[in-house]
Structure 1
Amino acid sequence: MTHDEPGATAWVWHGGTDFRPTEFPLPSPGPGETLVRITAATVCGSDRHTVSGRRSAACPSVLGHEGVGVVVSTRGGRTVDGMPLAPGARVVFGVTRACGECALCQRGLSAKCESVQKVGHEPFDGEWPLSGTYASHILLRPGQAVVTVPPEVTDGPAATAGCAVATVMAMLERAGDLSGRRVLVNGLGMLGLVAVAAARERGADHVLALDFNSERRALAHRLGAVAASPAEGATGTVDVALELSGAPSGVSTCLAALGIGGTAVLAGSVAPAGAVDVDPEWIVRGWRTITGVHNYEPRHLQQAVDFLTRDPHGLPWEEIIGGPVPVGQLAHEFSGHDPGRLRTMVVM
């Protein structure tokens, strides 16, 4: 399928805060592929870890994995619910591209596909150069979730669907029915605040939110949580604990708070941080469950967009997302980030 747009520009990361604009012809989609013009991206904390050297990544590469855009052209691309894509559709997309054929994909664990590729993680000189959101365009590949976005979900919140919000949807699925339950959310970054709002929407009777940052606790309180510092700890026991800080102390806090039959879902522990002691007898006699979530399945991306469309508890996006920042100022954004903002919107 042809397209009338000019060439693509990608702000290729070469290490540190070195982002270089690189121009090249737009690719023509192959079978099952879709070319999307990026309208906005949001800067995730994991990209900050990459740029600061805390996390290894392909270099050079096009970073960024939270984004929203408009379909330019497609060859048989479809949405998660099976609808054909067409030029002009406004979409968000999954962070992983799965083969659909390996044993893990067949088990419904496509997020951990044996040959998984990830948006914003692939080498620029590899087979998928236009794989990140810090670019004018991204080429979506077969096996990658795509969901259309209604106009009432603006670009900043929409972009977060592809990582933060969809991951929370996967966590809540693992947690089970929250109706009438007591829920603990530990760590009030982007995912934690979404988790508070989503738990409230799903009928949690009581949500306790823990974070050392007083401003984030205030946001959680506005969303209907009882907010406290981790130093104060959890009062009483909870039915579900959602751990998003990644700190061993946070994991221990969540486990210690679990009542009989309780479930802890860990999602913040995505880097080595040290071991946590667990007493097997405590798990067995208490019918407790400890599980983890890393990335998500296609259905969770659809659930994320649905949640953002409803947004029942009014997430304070004006306080969560800073910017917009022109993509040409990425180096400055990564060197001078305002820690009070959980996301920064980048525009092309």
Structure 2
Amino acid sequence: MAPRVEEPSALRIHLQPAATAMVWLGVERPLEAVAVPDVVLGPGEVLVALEFATICGSDVHTMLGHRQSPAPGVLGHEYVGRVVATGDGGARTIDGEALEPGARIVWSVMASCGECDRCTRGLTQKCRSLLKYGHERLTTRWELSGGFATHMHLRSGTGIVAVDETTPAAALAPVSCGTATAVAAMRAALRVVEVDSPAVLVSGAGLIGLTVAALARDRGCTVVVADPDDKRRDLVARFGAHAAIDPGVPGAAAETWAGLGLPGPDIVIEASGSRAAVSAALDAVEIGGAVVLVGSVFPTEPVALDPESLVRGLVTVRGVHNYTSADLAAALEFVEGSADRWPFAELVEATFPLERLGDGVALAATGGPIRVGIDLSTSCGAGTAPRGERRTREVKAAVTPR
């Protein structure tokens, strides 16, 4: 991507102290703190002071070299923050509300053009000119492109949703990735299985899987979650599952469904990415059912497919990757409205300051915590700034740590 050219209508923000971004330089290389004193906002763009971020599994996969991502770059794509300033013409939420400085927001993992053939088909997450926060190479004039920083620079075409002041940041940050993806997965499944209360098997009790379980239970579904980890199986009842099974125990699945008085699942949502789990999902689904693959976002060996069984079983297999703005809005509404039922904030089992991001990633890489948080409200350079003026005068925003 070429460096951005500063346009006459651009708004220059000067931050004092400078924003800080933790830059990933590549596999087995230390993170490096980079100061960003100036941000230039184009029309429709937004500068955000980050409040909290969480470490997604894909961040860990990238840092370990299990998936490719351009370096150097600022990782992190689960976040919540407050508006500092908006570019020329302002910016609006998904619902069309004008954004004002100080507004607490969650935003999409991506920015889309809204005009290409994919966007007009509703596939905005696969826009021809897609930009993904936390996944892009560091470039001049867009250094603050990921969530592991005190501030972020949101590009035009980003889905933004205002959030309330009472929902914990730990519950809100994952909305922009895992939670919204879970909503998209359920929506895809229910388009195929159009019954009131289908039986749902969730493969993988990570954040996506637990969110799917809670979504399905709220809809009145019978929910079973499969995960090989004892600790995670113990957790699933708190998110609505009727039962948990160890997929490594022969006959456990059949025994569990029989105990629930059902032959098996109408919907299987595979959220782990395990090759064995994908095969098991295809084998488990009932006639006329749907298998939604959402966890396979890193390379694995191919999975054997029996086309005859799919054809005779009238099975639909669907891949879901990321989500639309409508899914983001629905995910936020779900989390804000379910704090008394589902303990999403408790899934962040440890929190570190930005300066100790490396320690947080190391803990997340153990596979123990569902999520590890990064508290950005007290990090060096964190803060908010008053709205600036157009290029006729440089803005100097005195920022104090919160």
* Length-normalised TM-score, structure 2: 0.82
Verify the 8 A CA contact 1:13 1:59 in the aligned structure 2: yes
Task: Determine whether 1:344 maps to 2:344.
Answer: no
1:152 Cα deviation (Å)?
A: 2.4
| Matched AA of 2:236 | A
How far did residue 333 of structure 1 move?
A: 2.0
Greater relative contact order (CA < 8 Å, ≥ 6 in sequence): 2
Q: Which residue of 2 aligns with 1:198?
A: 215
- 1-structure distance, mates of 2:180, 2:29: 28
2:158 aligned with 1:144: yes
- Verify: 1:124 aligned to 2:138, yes or no: yes
Assess, with a 3 A threshold, how the Cα gap between structure 1 residues 214 and 72 changes in structure 2: closer, same or farther: same
Pick closer, same or farther for the CA change 1:228–1:168 going to 2, 3 Å: same
3-state SS, counterpart of residue 161 of structure 1: helix
**Aligned match for 2:321, one of 273, 283, 294:** 294
Aligned equivalent of 1:182, options 186, 191, 199: 199
Provide Cα deviations, 1:131-158, integer angstroms capped at 9, x if missing partner. Answer: 1011111011111111111122111110
Q: 1:247 aligns with which of 274, 278, 282?
A: 274
1:213 partnered with 2:224: no
Q: Distance in 1 between matches of 2:300 and 2:246?
A: 21
Aligned counterparts, 1:161-180, within 5 A: 161-176=175-190, 177=194, 179-180=196-197
Q: Aligned equivalents of 2:121 and 2:345: distance in 1?
A: 40
Separation of aligned partners in 1, 2:107 and 2:198 = 32
Using the alignment, how far apart are the partners of 1:329 and 1:342 within structure 2? Answer: 18
Task: For 2:153 and 2:182, locate their aligned partners in 1 and report how far apart those are by CA, in whole Å.
Answer: 25
Question: In angstroms, what is the RMSD of aligned CA positions?
Answer: 1.8
Letter in 1 for 2:230: S
Superposed displacement of residue 2, structure 1: 6.9
Q: Which residue of 1 aligns with 2:392?
A: none
Measure, in 2, the Cα distance between the counterparts of 1:174 and 1:19.
38
Structure 1 position 246, deviation (Å):
0.8
Q: Retained in 2: the 8 A contact 1:17–1:331?
A: no
> What does 1:79-118 correspond to in 2, within 5 Å?
79-118=93-132
1:67-97 residue CA offsets vs partner (Å, 9 max, x unmatched): 1000001132111111111111100110111
Write the distance in 1 (CA, Å) between the matches of 2:195 and 2:239.
16
Q: In the TM superposition, what is the alpha-carbon distance from 1:269 to its structure 2 partner?
A: 0.9
2: CA distance, partners of 1:254 / 1:312? 30
Give how far 1:282 is off: 2.1
| CA–CA distance in structure 1, aligned partners of residues 322 and 363 of structure 2 | 28
Change beyond 3 A, Cα 1:158–1:54: same
Superposed CA deviations along residues 41-76 of structure 1, whole A, max 9, x for unmatched, are 001111111111112211111111101000001132
Task: State which drifts further: 290-299 or 214-223.
Answer: 214-223
Q: 1:182 to 1:301 in 2, by over 3 A?
A: same
**Aligned: 1:303 with 2:315:** no
Question: Deviation at 1:127?
Answer: 5.4
Instruction: Report percent identity of matched pairs.
Output: 40
CA shift for structure 1 position 216: 0.6
Single out whichever of 267-276 and 166-175 deviates more from structure 2.
Answer: 267-276
Q: How far has the Cα of 1:334 moved from its partner? A: 2.2
In the alignment of these two chains, the number of paired residues is 347
Q: CA deviation at 1:231?
A: 1.9
Amino acid at match of 1:347: D
- What TM-score comes out, normalization by structure 1 length? 0.95
Cα gap change, 1:178 to 1:347, in 2 (>3 Å): farther
In structure 1, distance between residues paired with 2:352 and 2:60:
15
Distance 2:201 2:356 in 1: 38
- Segments of structure 2 that go 5 or more residues without pairing to the other structure are 1-10, 255-262, 377-402
Cα displacement (A) at 1:313:
6.8
Shift of 1:4: 7.5
For the residues of structure 1 that align with 2:341 and 2:36, how far apart are their CA atoms?
A: 41
> Measured at CA, do residues 18 and 53 of structure 1 come closer, stay the same or move farther in structure 2, by a change above 3 Å?
same
* CA separation of 1:318 and 1:127: change in aligned 2, threshold 3 A: closer
Distance 1:302 1:92, change over 3 A: same
Deviates more, 1:174-183 or 1:103-112: 174-183
